């Protein structure tokens, strides 16, 4: 395996530092992860063949593996997969891991009952191609389950992101995801591929207590690692925003950070062959 993710997409940061940041800031409370797992297993059963696409450091796949033994993880980033392997060292039934690209999946047609994605698509520049690959590797009546989960950006976190966006614009720094720019664009593309939304399940809403300084550094890390904003800019903006925040908050004050977790479930049209033909035509245009 090689670090092809950071080489071919140098603007994205799932490199070694990004792995540490990701692992430290992205976990959900154990009961929420369990609810996520139960919703998936209730929908698919225990025997389903599942591809966790963009599996990352495995925070979800490891949990899913407890009840769904046929789960496979694929990711572009060698550092993310290495961290996942390390976590699995002591586990007997490991999730098989493959380094690969969501836009060129190394699987035969109709290999899976379900493709799971969590926080993947914003990072995939050729995301249309990735969706057509998902359609190709899914069995007839297979499902794409996309987890929409994490902070709702209400409260202080939302204010901090707004402040970051304004500061970046002022400094002429471009920070945008290479993938779909909105949920609407993503869902529109799926509909154009004859996929139908067959479920939209709200699993949980909850709030996490965070210290102001923790939120400040998590949001800064987001711009550093997810958008690869240069470190000098990150430090300057972080300082500016921290100074302003201190006019209103104590750095060790605790605030609530609202979170929500939803599943959006898609089934590609019954006439899969024609969908795949259309995908091929579409991406050749
Ligand atoms: C934000 S992380 C999410 C990881 C995991 N799904 C989770 O929720 O913990 C996004 C992951 O997508 C992977 N990724 C981005 N583009 C990819 C691509 N084209 N093919 C495969 N993986 C990709 C990154 O390497 C990273 O591990």
Q: What is the pLDDT of residues 245-280, one digit of tens each?
A: 999 999 999 999 999 999 999 998 766 666 666 666
| 174 dihedral zone (left: phi>0; alpha: psi -120 to 50; beta) | beta
Sign of the Cα torsion 123, 127, 129, 131 reads: positive
Task: Count other C-beta atoms under 10 Å from residue 256's C-beta.
Answer: 14
pLDDT band at 226 (very low <50, low <70, confident <90, very high): confident
As a whole number, mean pLDDT of residues 202-223 equals 95
The pLDDT, as a whole number, for residue 227 is 84
The pLDDT, as a whole number, for residue 26 is 81
Strand pairing class (138-151; 112-118): parallel
* 26 Cβ inside 6 Å of ligand 1: yes
Asked whether the predicted pLDDT for residue 101 surpasses 90, the reply is yes
Question: What rounded mean pLDDT belongs to the chain?
Answer: 89
pLDDT band at 193 (very low <50, low <70, confident <90, very high): confident
Which of 12, 33, 56, 150 to probe ligand 1 with, by most ligand atoms within 8 A of CB?
56
Burial readout 41-64 (b: 16 or more C-beta within 10 A, e: otherwise): bebbeeebbbbbbbbbbbbbbbbb
Residues 141-177 have pLDDT tens digits of 899 999 998 899 888 999 999 999 999 999 999 888 8
Interval between CA 56 and ligand 1 midpoint (Å): 5
Rg, Å, the chain Cα set: 19
Measured distance CA(189)–CA(276) in Å, rounded: 14
H-helix or E-strand spanning residue 265:
strand 254-268
- The mean-pLDDT minimum among 65-69, 190-194, 221-225, 267-271 falls in 267-271
Measured distance CA(128)–CA(57) in Å, rounded: 24
Which backbone phi and psi does 218 adopt, to 5 degrees?
A: -65, -45
Query: Cβ distance 216 to 158 under 8 Å?
Result: no
Which backbone phi and psi does 217 adopt, to 5 degrees?
A: -80, -30
The pLDDT, as a whole number, for residue 21 is 81
- Please count the CA atoms within 13 angstroms of the CA of 11 that sit on its side-chain side: 12
Q: What is the DSSP string of 190-237?
A: HHHTTEEEEEEEEEEEEEEEEEHHHHHHHHHHIIIIIS---HHHHHHH
Local structure of 115: helix, strand or coil: strand
As a whole number, mean pLDDT of residues 19-42 equals 90
Asked whether the predicted pLDDT for residue 7 surpasses 60, the reply is no
- Nearest by Cα to 49 from 115, 135, 112, 137: 112
* 76 Cβ inside 6 Å of ligand 1: yes
pTM: predicted TM-score of the whole model, two decimal places: 0.90
The pLDDT, as a whole number, for residue 18 is 78
Looking at per-residue pLDDT, the higher value among 284 and 155 belongs to 155
Residues 41-96 have pLDDT tens digits of 999 999 999 999 999 999 999 999 999 999 999 999 999 999 999 999 988 899 99
The pLDDT, as a whole number, for residue 270 is 67
Interval between CA 74 and ligand 1 midpoint (Å): 8
Measured distance CA(6)–CA(210) in Å, rounded: 31
* 60 Cβ inside 6 Å of ligand 1: yes
H-type alpha helices, the chain: 4-8, 16-25, 30-44, 61-65, 78-88, 127-137, 155-170, 183-192, 212-221, 231-245, 272-284
- CB-based burial of residue 16 (10 Å sphere; 0-12 exposed, 13-18 middle, 19+ buried)? middle
Measured distance CA(123)–CA(180) in Å, rounded: 9
Structure-block tokens of residue 177 = 């995801």
Structural domain boundaries of the chain? 4-151+177-207+261-284
Interval between CA 243 and ligand 1 midpoint (Å): 33
Structure-block tokens of residue 119 = 């926080």
Residue 58 alpha carbon, nearest atom of ligand 1 = 9
The pLDDT, as a whole number, for residue 25 is 83
The pLDDT, as a whole number, for residue 285 is 62
Asked whether the predicted pLDDT for residue 32 surpasses 60, the reply is yes
Class of domain 4-151+177-207+261-284: alpha beta
As a whole number, mean pLDDT of residues 220-230 equals 88
pLDDT band at 5 (very low <50, low <70, confident <90, very high): very low
């Amino acid at each position: 395996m090689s670090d092809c993710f950071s080489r071919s997409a140098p603007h994205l940061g799932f490199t070694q530092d990004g792995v540490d940041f990701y692992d430290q800031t992205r976990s959900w409370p154990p009961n929420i992860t369990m609810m996520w797992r139960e919703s998936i297993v209730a929908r698919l059963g225990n025997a389903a063949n599942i591809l966790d696409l963009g599996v990352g450091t495995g925070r979800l796949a490891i949990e899913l593996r407890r009840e769904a033994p046929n789960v496979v993880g694929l990711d572009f980033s060698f550092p993310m997969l290495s961290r996942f392997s390390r976590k699995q060292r002591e586990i007997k039934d490991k999730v098989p891991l493959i380094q690969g690209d969501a836009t060129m999946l190394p699987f035969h047609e109709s290999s899976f009952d379900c493709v799971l994605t969590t926080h993947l698509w914003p990072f995939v520049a050729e995301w249309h191609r990735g969706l057509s690959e998902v359609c190709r590797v899914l069995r007839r009546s297979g499902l794409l389950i996309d987890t929409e989960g994490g902070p709702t950006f209400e409260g202080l976190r939302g204010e901090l992101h707004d402040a970051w966006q304004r500061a970046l614009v002022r400094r002429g720094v471009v920070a945008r995801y290479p993938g779909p720019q909105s949920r609407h664009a993503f869902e529109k593309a799926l509909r154009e591929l004859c996929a139908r939304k067959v479920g939209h399940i709200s699993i949980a809403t909850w709030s996490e207590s965070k210290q102001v300084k923790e939120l400040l550094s998590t949001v800064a890390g987001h711009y550093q690692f997810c958008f690869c904003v240069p470190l000098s800019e990150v430090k300057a903006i972080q300082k500016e925003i921290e100074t302003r925040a201190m006019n209103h908050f104590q750095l060790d004050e605790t605030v609530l950070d609202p979170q929500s977790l939803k599943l959006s479930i898609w089934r590609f049209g019954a006439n899969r062959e024609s969908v795949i033909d259309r995908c091929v035509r579409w991406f050749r245009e």
